[in-house]
Structure 1
Amino acid sequence: MEELQARHRKELKDLQSRVTQKKKQASKKTRKGVNEECERLEAELKSKQESEVAEFNGEASEPPTEALEELALEQDGPEPEPEAEVKPAAQTNGATPAPAQAQGGKRNRQKERLARRAAEQEELAKQAAEEANDLPDMKQQERERMLAYMKERGLQEKEIRADGHCLYSAVADQLGQLEIPLGAAPGAEPQIPYKTTRAAAAGWIESHPDDFAPFLEEPLPDYLHKIRDTGEWGGQLELLALAKSYGVEINVLQDFGRVVRIEPESDAAGKTIWLGYYKHGFGLGEHYNSLRKAG
């Protein structure tokens, strides 16, 4: 059941992504048709998943149309059997003619339903595959644009592991390129650079609470705990704290060549680090890589 539920969540997530993309691409003329198609796809997926759960639990899982068919059959009575062929006495040797049911067999409605359902699911899968082929590959397009903008700026990518610590690991790699010591922040293990940069970011925020607390949606101690002791992703506030803590300017290259610059507390002439930010390129979601000087 856990595997079935996990597959259902993935199917729902994939469908939501497809629906969102189709609605974005719809024009005024096609919007109504696209909305109807999206509603149909969502209803079909819901019906399919409910049917699979019911089958797993050993329950009846007939689609509404099939249930109506069966109800009609029950009301009309059993399907009449074909009359047995009456043969002359000389040919039957006086034996009673065998009923057609014994000769031809009873109609198997369950097999017919299963065959019809399999055909419908095959058709749905075919339609989904055709629609997926028409959707743009967001990951590949973002990757190609990012590589082009890196080349323009004389940068090359150092890929960072996508584990929740990517921002802090990327900053640590960049500081190493500038030969800036990471420091020995309390509680950090020197052999794990991202723990040191995490502790540095948390320490700066803790010592300057008035600059950060207004932007938090939770108590400051809870927020600092997430930075220091968990794999919580970092973002704009953490980049600001790191820029000020280490006295460097942080440039974040994003898709379509946009660059976000985060200034340090003091003059950082010659102390600039580069990060690459991806929105679609990695399985966990948003991601940062270190961008070193090419060559």
Structure 2
Amino acid sequence: MESLEEMQARHRKEQKDLQARITQKKKGATKKTRKGVNSECEELERQLKERQEQERAGLDGEPVQEVDGVPALDEPSNEDPAIAMPNGVDHVTESLEKTTIEATPSENGQPRKRNRQKERLARRAAEQEAAVEAAKKEAANQPDRKAVERELMLKEFEARGLTEKLIRPDGHCLFSAVADQLSQAGIPLDTESGAEVREDQRYILVRKAAARYIEQHADDFVAWLDEPLDHYVHKIRDTAEWGGHLELLAIAKTYNVEIGVLQNGGAQTIEPGSDGPSEPKKIWLAYYRHGFGLGEHYNSLRRAP
């Protein structure tokens, strides 16, 4: 017959083995299966606790009730800290440490060594899961920057009597938006030959005009560049390189226009200077930092009907 000491040693091993199983189950759980896995682990813990309590009761000579030939157990007590398991992420590593720290005897009667690698892995898994949950809570508490930006922009449009024309977010958006505005203002896109192209190709003419101005006025731009001027001009003229403030300045001077840029509740104005032959016309662009998946984006703003 098993002695009390042997039973206690076996119970500790069973608890340790169960916690190792639970750790693996929870590590392999996904967001969809986590709830079911947690319920399954709780049930395994409950069953082990009840069985071990029943075995201890039988060893002490207490009566065992049976229902249909199966031992019926009393409700488990939560007062035994070696058995009761709290819910949550942390109890996996806490319980694992508790069972591995105890000196369970091996077959030769010597205490078994702690498996520190398993303890570290269990701790790391629990910490990572806790960090993910904390990040989710923090993200849920953050304001929706896209919605806030959109609300502010709509207020600006209404206050200035403007309506938005969406431009495809393809890397050419600044030049396409300017091309739409220049066409609305009756300004030719090709300042040299006056040539016209179809609507979806108009941005090419604006790119070439901006690149040409930067190249011809190198002293005004080279200090702001992180690369050789000819490389930069090539990217603006011949690729889908995004445009920014330098290109807007070159466009304003090339076409003698004043460019108003609405952004996140504010406005910026790029003026052409005093070199133009006539009073500059005003064109409007909408600049977004959060509203589009690719990042920064420009739309054209027309006068509301």
State TM-score, norm by structure 2: 0.56
Give me the whole-angstrom Cα distance separating, in 2, the residues matched to 1:236 and 1:273: 15
Give me the whole-angstrom Cα distance separating, in 1, the residues matched to 2:155 and 2:102: 72
Residues 156 and 268 of structure 1, relative CA distance in 2, 3 Å threshold: farther
Q: 1:231 is paired with a residue of what secondary structure?
A: coil
Asked if structure 2 preserves the Cα contact closer than 8 Å seen for 1:155 and 1:292, the reply is yes
Looking at CA atoms only, which structure, 1 or 2, has the larger radius of gyration?
2
Superposition map of 1:266-277 within 5 A: 266=276, 268-269=278-279, 271-277=281-287
Q: 1:238 is paired with a residue of what secondary structure?
A: helix
Structure 1 residues 70-111: Cα deviation after superposition (integer angstroms, max 9, x where no partner): 9x96xx8983369xxxxxxxxxxxxxxxxxxxxxxxxxx999
Q: 2:265 is paired with a residue of what secondary structure?
A: helix
| Alignment partner, residue 228 of structure 2 | 219
TM-superposed deviation, 1:120: 4.9
| Alignment partner, residue 145 of structure 2 | 138
TM-superposed deviation, 1:185: 6.7
- Equivalent position amino acid for 1:207 in 2: Q
TM-superposed deviation, 1:205: 1.7
One of 262, 286, 291 as aligned partner of 1:253: 262
Asked if structure 1 preserves the Cα contact closer than 8 Å seen for 2:249 and 2:270, the reply is no
Structure 2: segments with no counterpart, 5+ residues: 1-92, 108-115
For the pair 1:279 / 2:289, whether they are aligned, the reply is yes
- Equivalent position amino acid for 1:199 in 2: K
Q: What's the % identity of the aligned pairs?
A: 57
- Equivalent position amino acid for 1:252 in 2: V
| Alignment partner, residue 203 of structure 1 | 212
Q: 2:288 is paired with a residue of what secondary structure?
A: strand
Give me the whole-angstrom Cα distance separating, in 1, the residues matched to 2:221 and 2:164: 31
TM-superposed deviation, 1:235: 1.3
Give me the whole-angstrom Cα distance separating, in 1, the residues matched to 2:160 and 2:137: 39
Asked if structure 2 preserves the Cα contact closer than 8 Å seen for 1:170 and 1:290, the reply is yes
Give me the whole-angstrom Cα distance separating, in 2, the residues matched to 1:185 and 1:115: 71
Asked if structure 2 preserves the Cα contact closer than 8 Å seen for 1:249 and 1:268, the reply is no
TM-superposed deviation, 1:144: 0.8
Asked if structure 1 preserves the Cα contact closer than 8 Å seen for 2:209 and 2:251, the reply is yes
TM-superposed deviation, 1:176: 1.2
TM-superposed deviation, 1:113: 8.8
For the pair 1:158 / 2:170, whether they are aligned, the reply is no
Structure 1: segments with no counterpart, 5+ residues: 1-65, 83-108
Residues 280 and 77 of structure 1, relative CA distance in 2, 3 Å threshold: closer
Q: 1:162 is paired with a residue of what secondary structure?
A: coil
Residues 237 and 110 of structure 1, relative CA distance in 2, 3 Å threshold: closer
The two structures, once aligned, show a CA RMSD in angstroms of 3.7
Give me the whole-angstrom Cα distance separating, in 2, the residues matched to 1:267 and 1:219: 32
- Paired residues in the alignment total 201
One of 230, 239, 244 as aligned partner of 1:235: 244
Residues 213 and 124 of structure 1, relative CA distance in 2, 3 Å threshold: closer
